[in-house]
A and B are shown apart, each in its own frame.
Chain A
Amino acid sequence: MSSIIELKNICKSFGDTEVLHNIDLSIREGEVVVVIGPSGSGKSTLIRCINCLEMISSGELTVDGIRIPEERGRTRQIRLEVGMVFQQFNLFPHMTALENVAFGPCKARKMNKSKASDIARDLLKKVGLAEFENKLPGQLSGGQQQRVAIARALAVSPKVLLFDEPTSALDPEMIGEVLDVMKSIAKDSGMTMVVVTHEMGFAAQVGDRLIFMDDGRIVEEGKPGEVMKNPESERLKDFLGHVKHH
């Protein structure tokens, strides 16, 4: 199967500090990749490079056939195909849940309002929030907000979804509801997903591949079950020990 995301020798620097060093990574269509690693290892930067929220400093990135940096003018096209879910939800505070979800199809996909609202309603139902469509983000719990945010990202029918620690800002009792939604997306729609998370249960259940990053490099990767059971590097052993004891 062809790869939908291809990173070749990617480096990313902020000022003089290089935070990603020569990353090579290729992700197949429909694959669920889970990225783990200690704080500051470059996980967020890596996935933000994929939808060009950060511009790579060198190397070559190909997303759905669009090549960066050559086709830098087409980053918007990439973003239409690559949705993102953030740790802090980032829902538009002046729009209701329904408006948040309908916004993308309406503005980015130029759909008419009623069709966009239909899509949004369907998605809100799918994430279990049908009866909350007229609530503003401020009136929803963290878990509910994150589910709206997932519906919003899905609404423009992207080919890839990026998740940056989607459950890290949630109270423990809300983590499950968000992970359930993510699992059903992975299983039902065959969506390509890149998920930064420390939820090892999620990684084991739905991940096709686990990537361990440290200090701006991919240190280890493989089938989640195997990597977790037999970590090769000391750093990953260490890291898994920390995550488990949480």
Chain B
Amino acid sequence: MGFEFSVITESLPALLAGAKLTWIITILGIIGGMVCGILAGLGRIAGTEALGEEPHGIFKPISVAIRYISGCYVETIRGTPIIVQAMFLYFAFPMLVKAVTDIERFRIEALTAAVITIIFNAGAYIAEIVRGSVISVNKGLLEAGMSLGISRFQLIVHVIGPIAFRRMIPPLGNQFIISLKDTSLFIVIGVGELTRQGQEIMASNFRALEIWLTVAIMYLIMTTVLAMSLRKIERKMKIF
């Protein structure tokens, strides 16, 4: 039983379909994860000097609450395995809904559960990336912005944002690749992504070498595309 190239060509359509699903979950997941991560990352430092100046009056307790909620979210996600999060969302969450409401047949599609899991999971790690880069922006620049009389929103969008974003790119690349590879864990909730397709073909023809080699190469191609796109964005931004 040597290396049979035909095994690869025969299983290619199924594997490509799996790769496509992996790619879709990843892209939707990291887009949502960015939104989630930016909100939670800024939330964790709401009302601190990292975002301008400390608020006063009613905004003070509000910002404390936002910090607390964002912190709980990040720590909960970081503190539990992604596979448990996916299982919880897919199997346990519908039961929870059923227990607290009267909705009988509440279900989450496996694919939907996969995307949501990546969004929330990546979001928590991206939140830390966002927080770290924002904190690292020189405080003098914030003071220069504030001295011009711009609003906090303008300060975040035009001064803190661009400077912090550039520093986020390398760790973001890391996280995107991790998220892509994490999609292989959705094999446990039955999503037909790349790893599951490989597993199924393997179970029928027992050609482990050909199948897993092809699967590995497909992952490698996808992670390379992610890494190279980020590198391109990094180069496009002004050097400073």
Contacts and interface: CB of A to CB of B under 8 A. Distances in A.
Interface of A: 51, 53, 72, 76-77, 79-84, 86, 88, 90-94, 103-104, 107-108, 136-138, 149, 152-153, 156
Interface of B, helix, strand, loop or mixed by DSSP? helix
B150 to A, nearest CB: 5
Contacts of A79: 146-149
B154 A107 contact: yes
B143 A76 contact: no
A158 to B, nearest CB: 8
A21 to B, nearest CB: 24
B240 A90 contact: no
A61 to B, nearest CB: 15
Interface stretch (B8-16, B64-72, B156-164): B156-164
Q: Which 7 A-B pairs have the closest CB atoms?
A: A80-B149, A90-B144, A93-B240, A84-B147, A104-B148, A90-B140, A79-B149
21 contacts: A53-B53, A53-B143, A53-B146, A72-B56, A76-B150, A76-B151, A79-B146, A80-B149, A82-B147, A93-B240, A94-B162, A94-B163, A103-B158, A104-B150, A107-B150, A108-B149, A108-B154, A138-B239, A152-B144, A153-B148, A156-B149
Contacts of B143: 53, 84, 86, 90
Interface string B169-192: 000000000000000000000000
A152 B163 contact: no
Given A107-B154, A136-B238, A90 B138 contact: yes
A136 B147 contact: no
B141 interface: yes
A136 B240 contact: yes
Contacts of A108: 148-150, 154
A138 B240 contact: yes
Contacts of B145: 92
A94 B157 CA distance: 13
Interface centre among A107, A137, A149 (most CB of B within 10 A): A107
Contacts of B151: 76
Interface of B: 53, 56, 138, 140-141, 143-151, 154, 158-159, 162-163, 166, 237-240
Contacts of B148: 79-80, 83, 103-104, 107-108, 152-153, 156
A69 to B, nearest CB: 9
Given A53-B53, A90-B143, 14 more contacts: A72-B56, A77-B149, A79-B147, A80-B149, A90-B138, A92-B145, A93-B240, A103-B158, A107-B150, A108-B148, A136-B238, A138-B240, A152-B144, A152-B148
A86 B140 contact: yes
Which of B148, B158, B240 has the most chain A CB atoms closer than 10 A to its own CB? B148
Contacts of A104: 148-150
A13 to B, nearest CB: 15
B49 to A, nearest CB: 11
Contact of A53 (B56, B147, B150, B237): B147
Nearest to A80: B149
Most chain B beta-carbon neighbours within 10 Å: one of A72, A92, A94, A138: A94
B144 to A, nearest CB: 4
Contacts of A93: 141, 163, 240
Contact of B149 (A53, A76, A88, A90): A76
Nearest to A87: B140
Contacts of B140: 86, 88, 90
A88 B145 CA distance: 14
Contacts of B166: 94
Contacts of A91: 144
Contacts of B141: 90, 92-93
Nearest to A137: B240
A93 B237 CA distance: 12
Contacts of B56: 72
A157 to B, nearest CB: 11
